[in-house]
Structure 1
């Protein structure tokens, strides 16, 4: 029954992968990336800016603190732009260098690397792990497995705590945890994210990349013959065959000694010598492993290397090409617009709502009035006293609240009457401008258009 399932192609029984430890340039780059990204993740919630957590998505208060700036739900436009930028950046990097995101920066890769390091530290490298798993359950095996899973769980729960610390002030969260008074929802999300990390990085690992991640499926649409990919030079390596070290390469053999180290170090368990496969995450561990063997055999490095299809078949690689220029241009344009918009952003929102019960009213003294409601929101971290004015028609004046005080994050609905002499109007419908300005900071101001309606 098992063989029938495997031969059908619809189901393959999972076999644990034991990636061998390797050393080299790309391994060092990957470790540096992992440590850098983990450092950002675990340190950011504890950093402050003007006594405020540097990065905090305070959902109950509907405030989002990012590097000294405060954003509100009204600013979700920026989130949409950032998501577009990230998508374009992924397309740009993929067109240039394949799946380097997967191999060096994807959260699944980053946390899986840490779990693999812990596993190696407790159980040893690949041969020791295989031997331990095949050994009968005794005190040594139970002890090592217990230590490994205890470390995995501790690291996972701390990861869950840190994740929640981006949404709940982390110092208050730590106080609640250490005091044993943590609320149910905070505890739930710590456990949920912690156990998800434990399962994904400890057990599923490459299965997330192979079966659950959509990027592995549509990456080929972003590749072309000039995309850098991890490749095996078949012309140099074939026909492969074992030989002794220090012996001149046999005339009937290629440079591949069939040591299978490139397979043993692969975190997804593929054989790069079979060509480009969607399971390859571009981590380049096989390059470091193969280069180490080439050094020992006295052969040139690069039997497995980062290259392009064009270069692999003797052609010329064009790194700068149409699609890379388009992606780069869009990235620069959208990033510039986003930075400019954020720098010019005013922490004040004003909406104007017309009274629909009457188009206009006669005041009895020859003038007419329109009634509006100004919905004002203070999106600053400070309270402000605002002054309201209106312009656009000669002699126009405001009746009602000309000044309003708002605390941080507060919203006020201010009804106002706008009075105009109809003889001063050039048409039945005329544009007027409402202006609101903070008395203590003239830069905090907004101007909005409205229509003033009069008689025929």
Structure 2
């Protein structure tokens, strides 16, 4: 049986709104619902918001001359701090690795349960849920909100509108202000707010982030998940019929009819579906789609329609699960009256799991073996070698030492691979230099050796802790 994924639901939804006399362009007004999945979503919302708002105030001791904020994106000094991890611009390959790992895990999640991230933990979903909660508390549930759209503005209605938008703006500015805390010392900036001593730059970014939150969570809502986010556009390429996504068991629900009519039809020995066409699954959907029409690329797999349908089935004394997390393959098996098959473990998910574990292992090893200093060598290009009066050759190099630790270190330079004398320009005696904390220094270094001594040369820098850095170059005669 061919499967067509609905990609034109916006037009269908617009027609439904027109029939319901809902102004075009208005965001979806989902109805509140109770159930297991809704409780899980509230728990995830509370957890994610707590992490977001609390994390900037967690302290982490990194020693002297280092910030003590656990998570800090210090772009001004080119540092990213996350608890015990410190990332410099030279370590951005590790950030790239983390992004690749996150994308792989997201694809694995999609292969297991579709857009589970979108439905539960995506920031757009979390803040939209929070804004909808405020809207319900102030304006009432779906019916009242739809009734108020286009109705004359009374003093009570005006007070509700002002209260709702004031609460939204308060949340938005709290969100924008907290995001700024990740880029500077959070307690210091908070004290600046209290004393009125905040830079114009910080205030500008707070307004920008607050406006973004206010617009996306308060007005755009479902349109972000459907049209602005690139992830649903990938569903046509990575949609998996074995993934446990929200689906309607049409083989059980059709033909749709009222409970009384279904009872009468069944008494006549004719088949009748369990779906009573109450529309609760559509009313609670934050995207405004009808899951009974089949898989839809806009569905964020939040499962609120599952709670709504289970509630109706329980009241009617019918089995729950008419709408449920189920694979499309099992829906087709149900149509053929075959038993469902769980295929979460299959070559695709095994391969993605192995890839995720391998990437996580590589990144862990890279972090564990990451040094607190970097040595690099660049050979002079013009001239590449100078012949001295005694017949020996001199090659010149620029040796760069970067000390990423918060304490100064003394590095002793040496070379191996060729028989040549090392000298550091500007250093009178010895081959040791002191590099300050979190600084780099470029050294002019010369190697003087015999004319026939060309070959690969290894520069080595050893500090007082016996940590060794090395870099390879070439000693040439022309």
Aligned to 1:257: 276
Aligned to 2:29: 18
Does the CA-based 8 Å contact 2:27-2:220 persist in structure 1?
no
Aligned to 1:450: 473
Alignment of 1:180-329 (within 5 A): 180-243=196-259, 250=266, 251-314=270-333, 316-329=341-354
Cα shift at 1:266: 0.5
Aligned to 1:380: 405
Cα shift at 1:100: 0.6
Cα shift at 1:325: 2.1
**1:145 and 2:169 are equivalent in the alignment:** no
Cα shift at 1:245: 12
What SS does structure 2 have at the residue aligned with 1:38? Answer: helix
**Cα deviations across residues 133-158 of structure 1 (Å, max 9, x unaligned)?**
45431221111111111111011001
- Which of 333, 345, 369 aligns to 2:358? It is 333
Does the CA-based 8 Å contact 1:245-1:296 persist in structure 2?
no
**Cα deviations across residues 69-96 of structure 1 (Å, max 9, x unaligned)?**
2211111111221221121111111111
What SS does structure 2 have at the residue aligned with 1:53? Answer: coil
- Which of 102, 127, 140 aligns to 1:124? It is 140
- Alignment TM-score, normalising by the size of structure 2: 0.87
Aligned to 2:437: 408
Partners of 1:123 and 1:245 lie apart in 2 by 36
Partners of 1:143 and 1:244 lie apart in 2 by 43
Does the CA-based 8 Å contact 1:70-1:380 persist in structure 2?
no
Over 3 Å counting, the alpha-carbon distance change for 1:249 and 1:32 in structure 2 is farther
Q: Unaligned 5+ residue runs, structure 2?
A: 1-10, 16-22, 62-66, 334-339
Q: Specify which structure has the bigger relative contact order, considering alpha-carbon pairs within 8 angstroms and separated by 6 or more residues.
A: 2
Cα shift at 1:231: 0.7
Cα shift at 1:35: 1.5
Does the CA-based 8 Å contact 1:310-1:317 persist in structure 2?
no
Does the CA-based 8 Å contact 1:245-1:297 persist in structure 2?
no
**Cα deviations across residues 355-387 of structure 1 (Å, max 9, x unaligned)?**
223333345456433221211111122222222
Cα shift at 1:274: 1.1
Does the CA-based 8 Å contact 1:430-1:453 persist in structure 2?
yes
Partners of 1:91 and 1:37 lie apart in 2 by 21
Partners of 1:95 and 1:220 lie apart in 2 by 13
